[in-house]
Amino acid sequence: MNAAEAQDLSVFYGSTEALKKVNLEVPEAMVYGIIGPDGAGKTTLMRSLCTLLPYSAGSIRVLDYDALTESAQIRARIGYMPQRFSLYQDLSVEQNLRFFAKLFKVSKKEMIAQREKLYGFSRLKPFAKRLAGNLSGGMKQKLALSCALIHTPKLIILDEPTFGVDPVSRVEFWQILHELKQEGVSIIVSTPYMDEAVQCDQITLLHKGSVIGQGSPNEIIARWQGKLYKLKGDNLQELYKYLQSKVDKADLQLFGSEIHLYSKDELHAELIDTWKHEFPSLSSWEEIQPGMEDVFLKMMQ
Amino acid sequence: MPNLNRIKAIAEKEVFHILRDSRTLTIIFIMPLLQLIIFGYAMNMEIRQVPLVVDDSALNSSSRALVDAFIHTDYFRLVPKSEGILNPGELFKERRAQATLSIPKGFGKESLTVLLGIDASDPNSAQMIQNYATGIVNTRFAQAGAGINLQPLILYNPDMKSSFFFVPGLIALILVMICALLTSISISREKEMGTMEQILVSPVSATEILLGKVIPYIFLGLMDALLILAVGMLLFQVPFRGEFIVFLGFTFLYVLTSLCLGLLVSTMAKTQQGAMMMALGMTLLPTLLLSGYMFPITSMPVILQKITYIIPARYYLQIIRGIMLKGNNVRHLYQSGLSLLIMSVTMLVIASRRFKLRLS
C-alpha cells in the first residue's frame, strides 16, 4: 500500500489550471518531497491530498481511502501543517496540543504520553505555558508539527514547514523529520529549497502545475546529460553580461559567488582562454558535478 | 452523530479566546450599557413641564379650580402672561409657551367651554399635550361634562411612561445584535486567520464546530440580558411583574435564535469585516422597524406584516413586554417561544448544511 497516490489529478481555480494531470506515488515510511518554486502548485497539491480541495479530474487515494468519498476517514488518520501558521496564537503551547488531541479523540493518557514524546523532539516543554503567538518562528513550526502529530497519524502532510524559519531551526526541523521516518511515519513535505530537496528519499519536481521530474534526488541528478562548468571572476555581474554575448543565455546561471555554464559537449580550453583574453577579470574555471539546483533550473526550461 | 467531547473541546477553546480577548468582552458588556443609556435617555418620548400661559377672564372658583388642576401636575408649568390680549401664535413664535389656556367670562355658569392652544410644530408633543389636557379635564370635571363620558381604563402603564416601552425593546434589540455579532465574528475570524484550515483536517463535523461555537455564547448572552435588565430597572424604574425563571427560559430561546442567525451569517461572509456588516444589517434596522418595537405591526402594509414573521424580535418583544409589564407566564407565551425555537433549529440546520468542510 502506498501512503498516498494521485492519478491524472487536475485542479482548477476558476479557469486557471493550478495542477495539470499530476501523477504521484508516495511509498510508506519515506520523506517525500514536493519541490518547486512559488506558484508551482505545491500548496494546491498538498491541500488536495488533505481532502481540503475539491479536484476537477483524476483521483487521489490517501492511506487507501478515496479523497472524495472517504475524506472523513482520511482526515482522522493524517496530520496536516498548513503553510501559514494556523494554530491559536492566544492559546498556550499546552492548550493548543490539548485542543488538537481532543479534536482527534485522543484519550488523556495517550495524549500525555504522546505530548511528552513530542516535547522530547521539539524541546518545547519549558515553553508549555507560553502563548503560541509569542513563540519564535522555529518554535512555532515545531509546535505546529507537534499538533499535527498529537494523534500519532500514519501520514503527515507538511506544506513548506520551514518557510521563514532561521537556518539553524531548519536543520533541527529536518532532523526531527528523519527521526519520525525511523518510527515509520510517512511524510509528504513541500519546499522551494533545493538543500532540503536532497534530504528527501523521493521527490516530485513541480513547475507551473505540471510534474517535470520524479525519483530520488540522486536518480534525478544522475539523469543529467552534458557538462557543467563553474566560472568565477572579480566582477560577476559584468562577467555574466559578457558571457551572454558568447553563449545561449539559457545555459548560464548566476549564483552568489559564481556562474554556472551548461554545455552539451565538453568546452575546449582554447575557447575559454580566448574569453580570458577578452575579459581578463574571468579568474578561474573548472568542470563540476551538477547539484540539485542546476538540475532543477535546467529542467524548468 | 456529533461527538460531545469534540463539542466540549471547541467550546472550551472558545472560552479561552473570550477570556483573553478584551475586545470581545468590551462588545459584550460595555456596548449594551452604552446603548441602553444613550437610547434610554434619547428616546424619551414623554413631555414634562410644558410651558403654559393662562388667560383667565372668568376669575371665579371654577376657573381657579381648572387652572390649579393643570399646574398641579408635572406636565404643565405656569408661565406668567404679559399685558394685553393673549395671542397664542406670538407666544409660540417666541417659544415662550407650548400651550395656552383661554377661559372665557362666565366659565362655570353660562359656559363650560375653554380654548386650549397647542404648538404643533412637533406633532408628537402636540398630541401628548392634548392627551394630558383632556386627561386632566376628564378626571377632574367629568361630572360636569355633557354627552358621552369616556372613562379610559389604562392598564400596565397608567402613566404611559416611555421607559416601560423602550427598556424591554432595548433588551430585544441589543441581545439580537450582540449575539449575531459574536458567533459570526468568531467563525469568520477562524477563516481569516487560517485556523479553520487546520481544524478542518480532523474528524470534526460542521455541526460539532457550530454547536461548540454557540454554547459558550449562550451563557454570555444570558448574562448580557440580565445586565441590561438590571440596569434598565435601576436607571429607568421599569417594573418586572412576571416570574424570573420564565424570563430566563424564554430569553434563552431568543439568545439561541440570535446566535444561530450569527452562524448563518458566518457561512456567507468570508471576512470578519463582512460578517460584522452583515450581522448588523440583518439585526439593527429590521429589529427597530419591523419587530413592532417602534411601529405597530398591525398598521404596516400587508407585505411588511408578512416579513415581520421572520424577525426574531417580533416574538421576543411580545414575550419580554408580557413578562415585565403584564406578568405573563408560560401559558401566555408558549406560541412565541415555539416560533423562536423553530427559527433557531431551522437556522442551525441551514448553517450546518451551508458550512463547507472544504476550502474553495
pLDDT of residue B338: 97
Is residue B351 very low, low, confident or very high in pLDDT (cuts 50, 70, 90)?
A: very high
Does B154 map to a domain? no
Q: Do B198 and A86 touch (CB under 8 A)?
A: yes
pLDDT of residue B127: 85
| Mean pLDDT, chain B, integer | 88
Chain segment B194-213, per-residue pLDDT in tens: 999 999 999 999 999 999 99
Chain segment A201-211, per-residue pLDDT in tens: 999 999 999 99
Instruction: Indicate whether B165 and B275 sit together in one domain.
Output: yes
Q: How many domains does chain B have?
A: 2
Order of strands across the sheet that contains A31-35? A78-81, A155-159, A186-191, A31-35, A202-207, A210-215
Is this prediction's pTM over 0.90? no
Is residue B82 very low, low, confident or very high in pLDDT (cuts 50, 70, 90)?
A: confident
Q: Do B203 and A104 touch (CB under 8 A)?
A: yes
Instruction: Indicate whether B89 and B127 sit together in one domain.
Output: yes
Q: Do A52 and B197 touch (CB under 8 A)?
A: yes
Domain around B84: 50-144
pLDDT of residue B45: 66
Which residues, 6+ apart, have CB-to-CB distance to B239 below 8 Å?
Answer: B164, B233, B324, B325
Quickly tell me which residue has 395671542 as its cell.
Answer: B87
Quickly tell me which residue has 413578562 as its cell.
Answer: B323
Asked if pLDDT for residue B65 goes beyond 60, the answer is yes
| B15/A contact by beta carbon, under 8 A | no
Query: What domains does chain A contain, in order, with CATH numbers?
Result: 4-221 (3.40.50.300), 224-300 (3.30.70)
Instruction: Indicate whether B35 and B60 sit together in one domain.
Output: no
Instruction: Indicate whether B257 and B339 sit together in one domain.
Output: yes
Does B150 map to a domain? no
Closest residue in A to B16 (Cα–Cα): A91
Distance of CA A152 to CAs A100, B84, B201, B209, B227, Å? 12, 99, 14, 23, 46
DSSP state of B11: H
> When comparing pLDDT for A283 and B331, which is higher?
B331
| B359/A contact by beta carbon, under 8 A | yes
B6, B16, B202 member nearest A75 (Cβ): B202
> Of B103, B118, B144, which closes a domain?
B144
Select the residue from A47, A86, A157 to test the B interface by mutation, using most B Cβ atoms within 10 A: A86
Output the CA torsion A187→A189→A195→A198 (10° steps).
Answer: 50
Chain A residues lying within 8 Å of B198, measured CB to CB: 80, 82, 86-87, 147
Identify the bridge partners of residue A282 per DSSP, sorted by sequence position: A233
Residue B70's CATH number = 3.40.1710.10
Report the distance separating Cα B299 and Cα B293, nearest Å: 13
Residue B107 near residue B91, CB atoms below 8 Å: no
Which of these ranges, A58-67, A188-197, B29-38, B316-325, has the smallest mean pLDDT?
A: B29-38
Which of these ranges, A32-36, B113-117, B287-291, has the smallest mean pLDDT?
A: B113-117
Q: Do A90 and B16 touch (CB under 8 A)?
A: yes
| B198/A contact by beta carbon, under 8 A | yes
Report the distance separating Cα A180 and Cα B179, nearest Å: 45
B10, B16, B195 member nearest A95 (Cβ): B16
Closest residue in A to B21 (Cα–Cα): A90
Quickly tell me which residue has 481569516 as its cell.
Answer: B192
Instruction: Give Cα A155 distance to the centre of its chain.
Output: 16
pLDDT of residue B41: 79
Instruction: Chain B: give the shortest CA distance to residue A90, in Å.
Output: 7
Residues of chain A with pLDDT > 70, as a percent, come to 100
Instruction: Indicate whether B278 and B172 sit together in one domain.
Output: yes
Select the residue from A88, A104, A188 to test the B interface by mutation, using most B Cβ atoms within 10 A: A88
